[in-house]
Each structure stands twice: as C-alpha cells, then as structure tokens.
Structure 1
Amino acid sequence: MNFTVELVQESDGRWLAEVAEMPDVLAYGQSQGQATTRVQALALRKVAEQLEDTESELQLLTIAFVKPVKQPIWEIFDQIMAGMPEEELSQLPADASIQHDHYLYGLPVREA
C-alpha cells in the first residue's frame, strides 16, 4: 500500500501535507518535515481504524509513504499540444520565442 504525500506551503508560511489517496487526511506543520510526520501519523491511525473494523482474515500489509512523481514540463506541453487543432497551431507566431516580450507585454518588436 503506497500513500503519496503532497506538500504545499501556505501564504502564512505553514506547510500543508496531504495524503493523495485519502482526501480527508491532511495536517499542518511549521516545516515540511513536521507536516509530513503529522500526516503520516494520521494516515496510519486511519488505516489502523479500518483494520480494526474489518472482520476478514488476517492480512499482512506493507505501507510506504512516497513523494509524488513530478511530470516534466515538456510532457505536460506535449499533452496540451496533442489536443490542439492544426489550424490553431498554424496561427501561432513563428518568432514567439524571440519576440516573447512583444507578444506577452506589448513591447516593441526587437530588431533581429
């Protein structure tokens, strides 16, 4: 049984840790480590409660807490681009990488 621990820093500086497979299991901490430790303890309590409520045969469990695997940005880009119609792609400016300040912020076009 693998549980993915996701961490987010709140605007007030605290860290929020959440177990992705258990939507109602989350905990705050002053550091990443404290939030992670608290959410792991909470998740283990929940698993223990579920085991105590189960009347089935003995099950041996292996429990691991893992960090989420981040998807590389180029894979995310490929997924987005795969769904774009060809006529929309053809409207993108060919010089967008060179003239990004012009297209994003309206600055004058740079001399090549």
Structure 2
Amino acid sequence: MTDKISDAAAAAAFRRLVTHLQHRHDAENIDLMGLAGFCRNCLADWVMEATQETGGSMTKDEARAAIHGMPASEWKQKYQTEATPERLKKMKESVAKNAAAS
C-alpha cells in the first residue's frame, strides 16, 4: 500500500506531521505511546536510523531536537507532566500490542 505514495508526498506528509507535533505540546509522548504505540522519541529514532542507513550521520540528540523543535531535555522540562499509573498502564498495553504485531 505505501508503494503507491511517492517519496515527495511521503516527505511532505512527514514534515507536516513533525510540524503538527511541534505545536501540539498537549499531546505528550506517554499519551501518544498509549494511543498509537509511538511517540516523538520513536519518530526521532526512526529518522536517525534512516539517516544512517542512507549514508548520513545523525545522533539521537540531533534527531530528537529535529522532531521536538528544541532539545528533548528542554521539551521535557517545559511540557512533560507526571506519568500517572493509568497512563503508564495504557502505554505498556500499547507497547505489548506493537510487540505482538512484530
């Protein structure tokens, strides 16, 4: 199915997703993990891996800053709230679904 999406369209959609996540600070990583099984940090890791696989160089910190729009430590300090037991449970259940699908 994804073969029908051009690289240019995929790149444009990816940039739009990153911009969207950079403006939706209320959508915290733990909540994204709980609902979708991935978060900003996952996306940053995928970007870092893809960059390295295509001959580029990118560190984890560089990738996370690119996705967060600022250093990840700064984003965390400004926007991350306490992980409640309920949020942690939902995240763990979502991660388990990802593992089962792999």
Into which bin does the TM-score normalised by the smaller protein fall? under 0.3
More strand per residue: 1 or 2?
1
TM-score by length of 1: 0.24
Q: TM-score, normalised by structure 2?
A: 0.25
Bigger relative contact order, structure 1 or 2 (CA pairs below 8 A, ≥6 apart): 2
Higher helix share: 2
Larger Rg: 1
